[in-house]
Amino acid sequence: MSQAATDETSGTATFPLKFSLTPSTAARTEIEREEILADPGFGKKFTDHMVAIDWTLDEGWHNARVMPYGPLHLDPASSVLHYGQEIFEGLKAYRHADGSIWTFRPEKNAERLQRSARRLALPELSEADFIESIRQIVAVDGDWVPSARETSLYLRPFMIANESFLGVRAAHQVGYYVIASPAGAYFADGVAPIKIWLSTEYSRAGRGGTGAAKCGGNYAASLLPQMQAYDNGCAQVLFLDGETSSRIDELGGMNVFFVHGTDTLVTPRLTGAILEGVTRDSIIQLARDRGLTVEERDVTLGEWQDGVASGAITEVFACGTAAVVTPISQLKGPNLSIGDPDAPAGEITMALRQELTDIQYGRLPDRHGWLTRLDAPAAQA
């Protein structure tokens, strides 16, 4: 029997799933866990448990469970291995000063997972079940949420087509999972501006493609240009649009913003080829709260170059879940150099970053209702 009734057209549950729990018999001791939390890095160590939910065409979403963290058993013919039918999300759990555990705008991640699912022909998981899956892993592995400044528990929900079938069609069997990894401070020695590399040979996404979906193929396509960025002394790669190679799209894993003077923030508009970042949306709101004019529009490489040269563009930064806000000091490329590699982080960049992290960690009031408590029942959140 399915644990929830299912809408036949979307595959979404019509009432919340019920989760079973199988505790791990190999859970780390408190001493072992604390040793990991002292220097977790990012995405290197994982908690003792994971969430899994099954979906089939006949039953919809069912068999929701929390289980010991461990390998997935996939048939070699699983669709995901051959056709890349998979999507994922990324968000964080934050420990506040009183010990409580919160996450930031999870409903936005749930909505984006649904949009990604539609684009990749996967079933949509309801917002309620998405958020409950996050609650469930924190309920059993809450001790893995670190308390040091700017640390967090990174949460990675993902969905894969695990039907054993080699025909080219949408899979009739899917698995949804959540794993969790303690994350140290992204900038261990303080926020440092980075240099980025302009990819002139490759595009991240094209018109009508999967650029707006959070799927592995987009990231796989960015890895070779990212290696070129490293080879040229840069921390990240920047992509131009796939049609004209003149407009700024985004970095390999972050959205980009331009500060004009002291009162205007500009970011590339969402074209269907750019990922709609939760941090991006939050920065836009906080900027408007400060009285800044925010423009979502096309930004050309020429405008960036001319704006820095004339002083019209005073700051550039990138944003995303992992690093939150990252100042950009210089853009490099073949026969191209924009900005000063030794320039300090900009005032507006750092003010927005500070405000956003202060909200996430409970140091400032949550005036927009962005925080969801995870270590308490939904009715108390």
Q: Return the percentage of the chain with pLDDT > 70, whole number.
A: 95
The torsion region of residue 217 among left (phi > 0), alpha (psi -120 to 50) and beta comes to alpha
**This prediction's pTM:** 0.94
Classify residue 82 as exposed, middle or buried by CB count within 10 Å of its CB (0-12, 13-18, 19+).
middle
Residue 60 and residue 6 in contact, taking contact as beta carbons nearer than 8 Å: yes
Helix axes 127-141, 106-119, angle to 10 degrees: 120
Of 42-51, 115-124, 202-211, which range is least confident? 202-211
Q: What is the DSSP letter of 362?
A: T
- Report the pLDDT averaged over residues 187-209: 89
* Cβ atoms within 10 Å of 226's Cβ, excluding its own: 20
- Report the pLDDT averaged over residues 225-241: 96
DSSP assignments along 143-201, one per residue: GGS--STT-EEEEEEEEEE--B--SSS--SEEEEEEEEEEE--SSTTS---EEEEEESS
Q: Which of 375, 358, 372 is nearest to 150 (CA)?
A: 358
pLDDT score, position 139: 98
Residue 179 and residue 156 in contact, taking contact as beta carbons nearer than 8 Å: yes
- The residues, ordered by sequence, that sit 6+ positions from 378 with a Cβ below 8 Å of its Cβ are 131, 132, 135
Residue 254 CA neighbour count, 13 Å, CB half:
23
pLDDT score, position 15: 65
- Report the pLDDT averaged over residues 159-174: 96
Q: pLDDT tens digits for 117-157? A: 999 999 999 999 999 999 999 999 999 999 999 999 999 99
pLDDT at residue 97 greater than cutoff 90: yes
Q: What is the mean pLDDT of the chain?
A: 93
**pLDDT band at residue 376, thresholds of 50, 70 and 90?**
confident
- Report the pLDDT averaged over residues 62-85: 97
- Distance between CA 171 and CA 40 in Å, rounded? 36
pLDDT score, position 207: 86
- Distance between CA 267 and CA 194 in Å, rounded? 18
Of 9-18, 67-76, 98-107, 370-379, which range is least confident? 9-18
Q: pLDDT tens digits for 301-343? A: 999 999 999 999 999 999 999 999 999 999 999 999 999 999 9
Q: Which of 155, 130, 158, 140 is nearest to 16 (CA)?
A: 130
pLDDT score, position 381: 44
**pLDDT band at residue 170, thresholds of 50, 70 and 90?**
very high
Q: Return the percentage of the chain with pLDDT > 90, whole number.
A: 91
Encoded tokens for 248: 């700024």
**H-state helical runs in the chain:** 30-38, 79-83, 106-119, 127-141, 216-231, 278-289, 301-310, 347-360
Residue-level length of the chain: 381
189 or 363, greater pLDDT: 363
